[in-house]
Structures are given as structure tokens and as C-alpha cells.
Amino acid sequence: MTAQDHDLFALGDIPLQSGEILRDAKLAYKTYGDPANAANGTVLMPTFYTGTHGRNEGFFGTGRGIDPSRHFIVSVNLFGNGLSTSPSNTVPAQHGAAFPDITYHDNIACQHRLITEHLGLDHIHLVTGWSMAGAQCYHWAAQYPDRVGAILPFCASAKTSPHNFVFLEGVKATLCADQNWNAGNYEAQPEAGLRAFGRVYAGWAFSQTFYREHLYRKLGFETVEDLLVDWEEDHVRNWDANNLLVKLKTWQTGDISANDTYNGDFMAALQAIQAKAILIPCSDDLYFPPADNAIEAKHIPNAELRVYNSPWGHCVASPGNDPAFATFLDDAIQDLLPG
């Protein structure tokens, strides 16, 4: 991303849930559409694990459920993604392995400041997003229930499950096993670890049926090995290892009740959500299964569960993979946005 591709909101020194201070924090964000549309449809789109605001552009467009000609869209980057404050771009004292732990709660508190203090918005009509972005939808609705009209998390959950935690421990272990890792104090990126990270991750991103039916060929890969090499190269080209692990820790500790408001009472946090909600899991997602969302939907007062059946698994939502999913998503969005 170029410097001109996004704006930065300076937050100053931020107290974190961990008790540490994030120094000279900045949120990277980009807006789309006319701010005059805000009264009719303000949409907040956080970013997912390996995403930036640019990747979010695949979820909206002219004639789509979210349309910049009709809505005002704010796409905001997670701490740790290399654009917002991250181990790779922060002040020297917190660079690399010295970067503090960041929770979803910390992210959403800072996003709230962006929305209210900087952009001057009192209400968000819809918070939506994929995977870690979807998790942030739940957090927004639980942390600021009077600010959010609707949420639409897809392939996500309100609390990271133990099985999901273990999956993340696996990819983390492959990265940290690199002989150049040096507890995060590496002199050059641990390339072998990044390649292993990408290769292992690919096994979870799609379903067993996806591989059995050779659906990777629809992505342009002749063999499984071709896909795995591409996932390796993507992580080596695009990601700093410490950035990946900071966001991974955010993901692992995800829980909308892990704060002073709900004190770990997950059901109370779900029941406090006032926003209208449509939860969209994929039938074959290996780490955000529909069963978790079904539990959530029972306890969120105004929630509907809409399962999308697909062998594409978690990556069904990646823009371009499954055009039918985009239609399914747009239909749900139109049911939530005013007008």
C-alpha cells in the first residue's frame, strides 16, 4: 500500500487491557463514498487476519449490498497488520518482539475514537466483515450496544473456541521453530518459518471436500503442491513474522465478555447485544463451525443464523472464490441496511 492509499488517525499513548501502554498509536483507515450518505447508511468494515482495507474492497461496490454511491464506508485496519501500529512500524522501544499484546477490546476502543472523535459519527448502521473482522463485529455490538444498528459477521465467532485456539498454536509453532526466529528478535525475516506457516495454514483454510474434489484447480492451481507453494510465497512476500503473531494473539484471546463490563460472563455479553444480527458461517469451515454460531444466535436477542453450504470452507468468503457467496452476502446486507 502506498502512503496515499489510506489515512492515519493519531491516538497518542493508549492504555491496553494488559496494563501496558501502546506508544504513539495510529489507526490506518480509508473511507469510501460521500460522508453525506452517513445518515442513510454508515458501514464499518474492520480487516481480517491477513487483510488490509484494500482487501475489504472485494466486499462492496456499485450495485452491491454495500455501495459507495449510497453508503458511507469506513474500512479500518487491525493493530498488527503493518498499516496500523504494528511491531514492524512502531516506535523503537516497542519494535519487534517488544510489542505489547493487543486484544479485540483494545482495537474496538480505538476504532470507537476514530468513528466518534475524528469522523464525527454518532451511529453505525452496520458493522460487517470476514473472520477476524467478523469477530470485531460482535465486539462492537457488545462494547457499544447503543452505537450499532446491525452486525453481519461471516465465518467468525464471538469467542475463539478451544479448537480454534489449538489450530493457531499449530501455525504459530511452525513459525517459531525457524532457527532464525530468535524469540522474535530476528535480524532478517524467518523465511523457513513463514513458509511453513503458510503451508500448514492452507490445510485449514479449505475443507476436506475442497481438496478431494480438486477445487483448487478453479483457483488456477494444477496440483495441491502448486497451491501450497503459493501460500508459502504469499506469507514470505507480504508478512512480517512478529506482525502475524501479534494478530494471532489477538485472535486467540477473542472473547466479547473478557472485559470489566461482563467479567467473563459470555452469555450476558451476547444477551446485551441490541443490534440486529445475521450470522453467516460456512458449513465446511474448519475453525469457525456453524455450531458455534448457532449457540450465539440463541442468546443474541435479535439474531438470525444463515448457514452457507459450500466445500470451500473458511475461504469461501475470500473475494472471487465463490460468486454465489457474494450474492448470499449481499442479500443479507440488504436485509440489514436501511433503505
Residue 135 sits in the same domain as residue 196: no
pLDDT for 1 equals: 41
**Tens digit of pLDDT per residue, the chain (339 long)?**
444 599 999 999 999 999 999 999 999 999 999 999 998 899 999 999 999 999 999 999 999 999 999 999 999 999 999 999 999 999 999 999 999 999 999 999 999 999 999 999 999 999 999 999 999 999 999 999 999 999 999 999 999 999 999 999 999 999 999 999 999 999 999 999 999 999 999 999 999 999 999 999 999 999 999 999 999 999 999 999 999 999 999 999 999 999 999 999 999 999 999 999 999 999 999 999 999 999 999 999 999 999 999 999 999 999 999 999 999 999 999 999 976
Cell of residue 338, nine digits? 436501511
Tell me how far CA of residue 123 lies from CA of 43, 112, 120, 146, 275, in angstroms: 10, 10, 9, 8, 12
Residue 51 sits in the same domain as residue 146: yes
Which is nearest to 28 in space by CA: 64, 77, 101, 97?
77
Q: How many CB atoms lie within 10 A of CB 180?
A: 13
How large is the C-alpha radius of gyration of the chain? 19
Domain holding 297, by residue range, is 3-160+254-336
Q: Are strands 7-15 and 72-76 parallel, antiparallel or unpaired?
A: unpaired
> Looking at residue 84, which CATH number applies to its domain?
3.40.50.1820
Residue 11 sits in the same domain as residue 29: yes
Write down the catalytic residue from 75, 84, 88, 131: 131
Residue 153 sits in the same domain as residue 33: yes
Cα gap 114→11, rounded to integer Å: 9
Cα gap 46→64, rounded to integer Å: 18
Write down the catalytic residue from 67, 284, 285, 292: 285
Instruction: Look up 131 and say whether it is catalytic.
Output: yes
Residue 18 sits in the same domain as residue 143: yes
Which is nearest to 304 in space by CA: 280, 329, 274?
280
Q: How many CB atoms lie within 10 A of CB 58?
A: 16
Cα gap 338→42, rounded to integer Å: 10
Residue 132 sits in the same domain as residue 267: yes
The helix (run of H) or strand (run of E) holding residue 1 is none
Residue 35 sits in the same domain as residue 56: yes
How many residues does this entry show for the chain? Answer: 339
Residue 102 sits in the same domain as residue 56: yes
Number of domains in the chain: 2
pTM score > 0.85 for this model?
Answer: yes
Residue 169 sits in the same domain as residue 128: no
Furthest C-alpha separation in the chain: 56
> Looking at residue 204, which CATH number applies to its domain?
1.10.1740
Per the CB < 8 A criterion, the answer to whether 334 and 65 are in contact is yes
Q: Which of 248, 263, 280 delimits the end of a domain?
A: 248
Residue 241 sits in the same domain as residue 274: no
Cα gap 138→128, rounded to integer Å: 9
Residue 229 sits in the same domain as residue 264: no
Q: Half-sphere exposure of 120 toward its Cβ, with a 13 Å CA cutoff?
A: 4
Q: How many CB atoms lie within 10 A of CB 267?
A: 13
Owner of C-alpha cell 479485540? 104
Handedness of CA 104, 110, 115, 116 (dihedral sign): positive
Handedness of CA 311, 314, 317, 320 (dihedral sign): negative
Per the CB < 8 A criterion, the answer to whether 262 and 268 are in contact is yes
Task: List, edge to edge, every strand of the sheet that includes 150-154.
Answer: 7-15, 21-32, 72-76, 42-46, 126-130, 150-154, 276-279, 303-305
Write down the catalytic residue from 235, 314, 318, 330: 314
The helix (run of H) or strand (run of E) holding residue 46 is strand 42-46
Q: Which of 217, 248, 279 delimits the end of a domain?
A: 248
Q: Which of 248, 272, 297 delimits the end of a domain?
A: 248
